[in-house]
Amino acid sequence: MDTRKTVLWITRTAIFIALLVVFQFATAPLGMSLVTGCFVNLMLILSVMTSGLASGLAVGVFSPILAKLIGIGPLWEIIPFIILGNITIQLIWHFLGNRNIVNKYVTYIITAIIAAVCKFTVLFLTIVQLAIPFFLHLPEQQATVISGMFSVSQLFTALVGGAVAIFIIPPLKKAISKSTES
């Protein structure tokens, strides 16, 4: 990779991580809001679809860690599961979303649905069904709150993030393509 491509990769990755962390920090007073979750999923999808798999995965891995370090993330013990959920949605978008099944919009719709269901399933199984009952030993009230955060709301936020991404990916890719040609 030449120096220019390396700088572009680092810059795009840093921008997506910064957008994610700043938005999470700005919406932290609202609690784990649905708006925040939709935006997080949107940024995860946009990063992988416009900047490539390595950049997207870096965003998916580092954003929950940085969020925790600045005091807005969840328990350290569930961050690996969140990272796994992030990687799941990003891998599906990368490998399925970059294909042309019928046309790009049909492909994106199918990808959005599959990716949202898979991310939800990973988070629900690993956090709600595995970590909370067997590893975390949380007080009942805290376990209930965290279980609620990683249940159906995750499906909703991933679907909304994917739906918004469907309309943003094409013009964003076009703009990035034009900017890198000059």
Burial of 175 (0-12, 13-18, 19+ CB in 10 A): exposed
Domain ranges of the chain: 3-181
pTM of the model: 0.94
Query: Structurally, what CATH architecture does the domain formed by 3-181 represent?
Result: Orthogonal Bundle (1.10)
In the chain, the N- to C-terminal Cα span, in Å, equals 18
**How confident is the model over 138-152, as pLDDT tens digits?**
999 999 999 999 999
**How confident is the model over 91-106, as pLDDT tens digits?**
999 999 999 888 999 9
Between CA 52 and CA 58 the distance in angstroms is 10
* DSSP code, position 33: -
**How confident is the model over 105-122, as pLDDT tens digits?**
999 999 999 999 999 999
CA distances from 44 to 40, 89, 142, 145, 181 (A): 6, 8, 27, 24, 25
Between CA 52 and CA 121 the distance in angstroms is 24
**How confident is the model over 25-40, as pLDDT tens digits?**
888 887 657 899 999 9
Between CA 20 and CA 180 the distance in angstroms is 23
Q: Is the pLDDT of residue 182 over 70?
A: no
Count of residues making up the chain = 182
Tokens of 5: 């491509």
| Number of H-type helices and E-type strands within the chain | 7, 0
What is the structure's pLDDT at 132? 96
Please state, as a whole number, how many other Cβ atoms lie within 10 Å of the Cβ of residue 1.
8
Between CA 166 and CA 159 the distance in angstroms is 11
Contacts with 21 (C-beta within 8 Å, 6 or more apart), sequence order: 63, 66, 67, 70
Instruction: Decide if 93 contacts 55 (C-beta within 8 A).
Output: no
User: Using 50, 70 and 90 to split pLDDT, how confident is the model at 181?
Assistant: confident
